[in-house]
Chains A and B, each alone.
Chain A
């Protein structure tokens, strides 16, 4: 029977009938219906996993914007976005370590400053970053880098043009109140909110010390949230990191940006409820997609059972027919995945712009959801294919 043991399943190769392909496109209406079902199941997974990624990315946007090689922060911090400053004196220690080109203090607060929205004149909590405008920039955000010279004089601030709309940071207003004190808005930068903060204000260390509630320390003694360290071109990162750890008390830790990202990842994994919600949503999409796919394949196989039995009777091996079914399932998965992927890019654009979440179709998301989509189709096919295996030519006719 070797002569008709054609291994062809797809068109394009030289001999025989591309069985999987022909079966797939035989009924265009049904193909459209099934791929629409699979597409929406895939879209559900993409949207849920995209949100999960977006929440995580948003919580790290400030960390990603930091402009430094190493960061000194409190050893007791469980995440970057919470106030737990270290003594100002550590700044001199850091500056004295060999290989350090510059060390700039970053002051930060998440719970102490309230911004009076020009829209409704109500105060809202905002995240505030303070830094020395005479030092090298601590953020690589162009709005802060270019605008920090404007912070040297007066009670001036830069605000986040991507803050939530109700804060009114993107209006033309040039002044408002911060913690009850009038401030001048001299520029904007683009950062975006996260789950904790609705908007961000950047200012000089001098103004930070002046406006921080309950603060009596002068700038030279103000506790620092993070020291942003830049290395000399000839210094090695690991050597300087070790030297800094040795020079500093064990109440401070020295981290690379990747290590801060790790810390955030651990926090999210241990404590955040957003992760499980989105994964559950994605799993629901997977199960639904599997069911849709199973229904399609099961119906198709039942309808074609005589044909499969005939193929068996004339000598095609079961393994060939099984492979044909699996390939067909994979193809219908792809037929659903591609439109879902395109639709999802549009959905990310719209939802991302309204919800101010960084939603992007990354390579990781593409591969992950493609794997899940093909997985659900193949799993469904594997469950349904028992019909072909048991198809007995003698019983069918």
Chain B
């Protein structure tokens, strides 16, 4: 073995890559697309559970009080209002405020389709929504038969400018303004109303039937301990979720119960396979191209291990160069998906890091596969 240390390996990898810039660019583009594909399928995969959590993420609460039959946000069932009064008496609880849900038919006064919309009734004084558009329009909310409409409400429902009148279950309701939250999986149109307006619209619905209870803790109270105390104090027709438990429950609902996980999961799996294919094809082509050079290196005494290290580092370099533009393109794609599907598609930094680690592992695997070409590199054959 010549007097070259392993420290020279990255240099050799770099020389090979920079020797034929056009080909290296093509290989990097291939890896770029493979990573982008994984990012996009991953985006779809996480979009659905994130859509399911969207509204909860904009509500102020530490513990959620709901029926023992609670299925998911849009199917929460109901419980007696008295449970909230009892909950408020438990030590550590600062406030318990109700949310009321109802489905309605939305129609423009001029006629046309009657389309399903989702209405949330609440007490504005309790400020359950951490949404600027709702908090700044309390005056409009307080007006009789007035509602605020989510601006992600689909265009088919007609204009939602302040002052527009629409029919909900044939009652005339005025749009007081709009707010930006997102409709999640509650429906294609979502509006919020002061509870007084809510019960006037949905009469004769009894006011002591609540869909969700939002519990805020006194400062310093421990969520888990208070949850345990509430479970003790309340009858078993209701249950308590901490925020973490709730996220767990909703994620599980969307990924397992609805087969959404399976559908987008299979897209994700195929994208991984395609990604490995592209990486493998790219790296194998590179190695085949340089077979004479590798054979020469072998002939002058470099070991298989040394050459394998060169290939592995070559693979890692290509992946690293391709990863960041792919991540950038993925962010742009997520913005597109958000506007096309109105689902929140957000990847956290650890998830980005996970994709990087996975792609590096994928490239190591495909570099390993393509090494079989390298081992066949027999100096005597090449020339």
* Inter-chain contact A33/B267, CB cutoff 8 Å: no
Q: In the bound complex, how far is the Cα of B286 from the Cα of A298, in angstroms?
A: 13
| Closest B residue, CB atoms, query A281 | B267
- A209, CB-defined interface residue at 8 Å: no
- B120, CB-defined interface residue at 8 Å: no
- A215, CB-defined interface residue at 8 Å: no
Within 8 A of B (CB), among A325-361: 347, 351, 354-357
Total count of chain B residues near the partner, CB < 8 A = 53
CB distance from B326 to the nearest CB of A (A): 12
Contact of A354 among B33, B259, B278 (CB under 8 A): B259
* Inter-chain contact A288/B270, CB cutoff 8 Å: no
- Contact string against A for B residues 70-92, beta-carbon threshold 8 Å, 1 for contact and 0 otherwise: 01000101000000000000000
* Inter-chain contact A292/B270, CB cutoff 8 Å: no
- Contact string against A for B residues 59-70, beta-carbon threshold 8 Å, 1 for contact and 0 otherwise: 000000000110
| Closest B residue, CB atoms, query A166 | B257
Q: In the bound complex, how far is the Cα of B289 from the Cα of A343, in angstroms?
A: 32
Within 8 A of B (CB), among A132-176: 164, 166
- B133, CB-defined interface residue at 8 Å: no
- A239, CB-defined interface residue at 8 Å: no
Known interface pairs A44-B271, A351-B263. Does A77 touch B343 (Cβ–Cβ under 8 Å)? no
* Inter-chain contact A271/B259, CB cutoff 8 Å: no
Q: Which stretch of A35-43, A95-103, A311-319 is in the interface?
A: A35-43
Known interface pairs A270-B154, A277-B44. Does A288 touch B278 (Cβ–Cβ under 8 Å)? yes
Contact of A47 among B154, B267, B343 (CB under 8 A): B267
* Inter-chain contact B257/A273, CB cutoff 8 Å: no
* Inter-chain contact B33/A288, CB cutoff 8 Å: yes
- B233, CB-defined interface residue at 8 Å: no
Known interface pairs A48-B267, A271-B156, A284-B37. Does A111 touch B103 (Cβ–Cβ under 8 Å)? yes
Known interface pairs A271-B188, A273-B343. Does A281 touch B40 (Cβ–Cβ under 8 Å)? yes
* Inter-chain contact A77/B274, CB cutoff 8 Å: no
* Inter-chain contact A41/B267, CB cutoff 8 Å: no
CB distance from A34 to the nearest CB of B (A): 7
- B29, CB-defined interface residue at 8 Å: yes
* Inter-chain contact A37/B277, CB cutoff 8 Å: yes
Size range of the chain A interface in the assembly: 35 or more
Interface residues of A (CB under 8 A from B): 33-34, 36-37, 40-41, 43-44, 47-48, 51, 74, 76-78, 82, 84, 111, 122-125, 164, 166, 270-271, 273, 276-277, 280-281, 284-285, 287-288, 291-292, 294-296, 298-299, 302, 347, 351, 354-357
Interface residues of B (CB under 8 A from A): 23, 26-27, 29-30, 33-34, 36-37, 40-41, 44, 47, 68-69, 71, 75, 77, 103, 105, 107, 112-116, 154, 156, 188, 257, 259, 262-263, 266-267, 270-271, 273-274, 277-278, 280-282, 284-285, 289, 336-337, 340-343
Query: Considering the complex of A and B, which 6 residue pairs feature the smallest CB-CB distances, nearest first?
Result: A273-B341, A355-B259, A76-B114, A78-B113, A276-B340, A37-B277
* 29 chain-A/chain-B pairs, Cβ below 8 angstroms: A37-B274, A40-B277, A43-B270, A47-B266, A47-B270, A76-B112, A122-B68, A123-B69, A124-B75, A270-B154, A271-B188, A273-B341, A273-B343, A276-B340, A276-B341, A277-B341, A280-B340, A284-B41, A288-B37, A288-B278, A291-B30, A291-B33, A294-B26, A295-B278, A299-B285, A351-B262, A354-B262, A355-B263, A356-B259
